[in-house]
Amino acid sequence: CSWDNHVLVNVGRSFDEERSNFFAPRKGIYSFNFHVVKVYNRQTIQVSLMHNGWPVISAFAGDQDVTREAASNGVLIQMEKGDRAYLKLERGNLMGGWKYSTFSGFLVFPL
């Protein structure tokens, strides 16, 4: 789990802070959630959760009349040991970076 470029919890060291990637330590079902906030940004953003380079889910924030807007989503993914998951900004830009955003992933059920 990370916030403002700071990792709050990283039990098992599965989150690579340098690359902002989560690597599955074992085969299983994993839960991922993210919450992204755009600030003072009159454009649409799209953020996708990527699994081994492929988009799995996305979230959009695009209201032109607000100064802050959030986009959130979550999913369960079956992963093999060594698979990676990460967030990708597909469209737009985040004024102020990722500091108001969170990303978390954890093992739900080992296989």
Tell me the pLDDT tens digit for each residue of 32-58.
999 988 776 677 889 999 999 999 999
- Predicted confidence at residue 1, as pLDDT, reads 47
* Domains located in the chain, CATH noted: 2-110 (2.60.120.40)
What residues contact 41, with CB distance under 8 A and at least 6 apart?
Answer: 92, 93, 94, 95
pTM value is: 0.86
> What whole-number distance in Å separates Cα of residue 2 and Cα of residue 62?
24
What is the distance in angstroms between the CA of the first residue and the CA of the last residue of the chain?
A: 23
Following DSSP, what letter does each residue of 61-82 receive, concatenated? E--TT-SEEEEEEEEEEEE-TT
- Predicted confidence at residue 39, as pLDDT, reads 72
Tell me the pLDDT tens digit for each residue of 81-111.
999 999 999 988 776 666 778 899 999 999 9
> What whole-number distance in Å separates Cα of residue 87 and Cα of residue 73?
11
